[in-house]
Amino acid sequence: MGPDEEWEEQAGTHSWPLPPISRSARPRVLVAEDQPEMRALLRRALRRRGYEVVEAEDGPGLVQAIIDGLLADQTQVPDLIVTDVRMPGYSGLEVVARLRREGWTTPVILITAFGDAQVHREAEQLGAARVLDKPFAMEDLCDAAEALVPPGR
C-alpha cells in the first residue's frame, strides 16, 4: 500500500474546504526522519528557533501525522514539512508527490544523504522548496525554515 491508498483508507473522502484550522502561536513543522538521533537534532534546532515540532519516524508515520492533523477537532495542518528522502515505508518524494496531487502548497524541505542530480531534479519538479544534502549545518536548515515560514508570524 502506498501513500495514496493509506491516505484514502484512513481519511476517506474529505470534504473541501477543510474545517477550521487551529493555529498555535508558533508555526507547526512536521519533521519526518528515520534516524532517531537526527530527528532529535532537527527537533531541538527548530524548537530553539520558535517552531512547534511534530515528529514522524518513517513514511507511514509522516502520512499518519498529516491525516491525524486533518481529522483533529480543530484541523491542525503543518506550516512546513521537513522530511528525509529515503525512509522505511514511503519516501519523502512519494509523500510530496501525493500532497501536490491533492493541491497542497505546504512548503517542503527535503533532506538526504543520497542527493544526486536525479533526486534534486525530481524534488524541483514536485515543488519542494529546498533540498539539503547530508551532512548539513543545522543553521542552514533553520535559515531555510525561517525564509519559508518565519517563526514570529
Beta-carbon count within 10 A of 13 CB: 6
Domains of the chain plus CATH, in order, are: 26-148 (3.40.50.2300)
- Retrieve residue 68's grid coordinates: 491525524
Q: What is the pLDDT of residue 39?
A: 97
* Residue pair 51/99 in contact by the 8 Å Cβ criterion: no
Q: What is the pLDDT of residues 113-138, one digit of tens each?
A: 988 999 999 999 999 999 999 999 99
Q: What is the pTM of this model?
A: 0.84
Q: What is the pLDDT of residue 138?
A: 97
Q: What is the pLDDT of residue 19?
A: 45
pLDDT along the chain (153 residues), means of 10: 60 47 76 97 97 95 91 88 96 93 93 93 96 96 97 73
* Angle in degrees, 0-180, between the axes of helices 92-101 and 59-71, rounded to the nearest 10: 30
Q: What is the pLDDT of residue 152?
A: 74
CB-count burial class (<10 Å; 0-12, 13-18, 19+) for 74: exposed
Query: How far is residue 69's CA from residue 63's CA, in Å, rounded to a whole number?
Result: 10
**What dihedral angle (degrees, nearest 10) is formed by the CA atoms of 99, 87, 109, 24?**
70
